[in-house]
């Protein structure tokens, strides 16, 4: 379980550079090893719609190898009700919203956020 949480935290943080140019948001939902994935990355920069759709459209790569699946879709803004938010990971003008995470999983993503120079915000 610990390894799976670390993998999911790393995957979330790694997705930020892909969306660091978007002015909209990318909502990712799915499951890995019985754990629910429900997170949304929102950024403040502008990029053409077609590029955003390329970066956030369909299946999330790399999850099948760890026994999971997730779909990504462009949304106008991340939904409310997050369990925690990572602001400015890797210095990017972005926020990652985490939903439906256990206390253990939230601790893992918080640690990953802070390790990447992000600021953790609890609701």
pLDDT tens digits, one per residue of 22-80: 457 899 999 888 888 899 998 887 767 787 777 788 777 777 788 888 889 888 889 99
- What is the 8-class DSSP label of residue 65? G
Instruction: Name the residue range of residue 59's domain.
Output: 2-121
> Is pLDDT at 119 greater than 50 in this prediction?
yes
pTM of the model: 0.77
Structure tokens at 32: 């890995």
% of the chain beyond a pLDDT of 70: 80
pLDDT at 84: 95
Confidence of residue 7 (pLDDT cuts 50, 70, 90): very low
Structure tokens at 81: 């009700």
pLDDT at 6: 42
**In this structure, how many other beta carbons lie within 10 angstroms of the beta carbon of residue 93?**
13
**Long-range residue pairs from 99-104, CB within 8 A, at least 24 positions apart, any chain:** 99/38, 99/39, 99/40, 100/36, 100/38, 101/36, 101/38, 102/35, 104/1, 104/5
> Is pLDDT at 19 greater than 70 in this prediction?
no
Please enumerate in sequence order all residues whose Cβ is within 8 A of that of 119, keeping only pairs 6 or more positions apart, or say none. Answer: 86, 87, 88, 113
CA atoms of 52 and 64, how far apart (whole Å): 23
How many structural domains does the chain have?
Answer: 1
Confidence of residue 17 (pLDDT cuts 50, 70, 90): very low
């Amino acid at each position: 379980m610990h390894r799976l949480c670390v993998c999911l935290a790393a995957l979330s943080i790694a997705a930020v550079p892909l969306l660091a140019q978007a002015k909209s948001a990318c909502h990712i939902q799915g499951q890995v090893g019985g754990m629910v994935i429900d997170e949304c990355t929102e950024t403040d920069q502008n990029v053409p719609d077609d590029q955003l759709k390329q970066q956030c459209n369909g299946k999330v790569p790399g999850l099948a190898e760890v026994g999971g699946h997730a779909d990504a879709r462009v949304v106008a803004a991340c939904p409310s009700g997050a369990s925690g938010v990572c602001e400015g990971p890797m210095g990017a003008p972005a926020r990652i919203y985490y939903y439906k995470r256990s206390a253990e999983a939230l601790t893992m993503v918080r640690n990953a956020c802070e390790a990447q120079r992000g600021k953790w915000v609890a609701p």
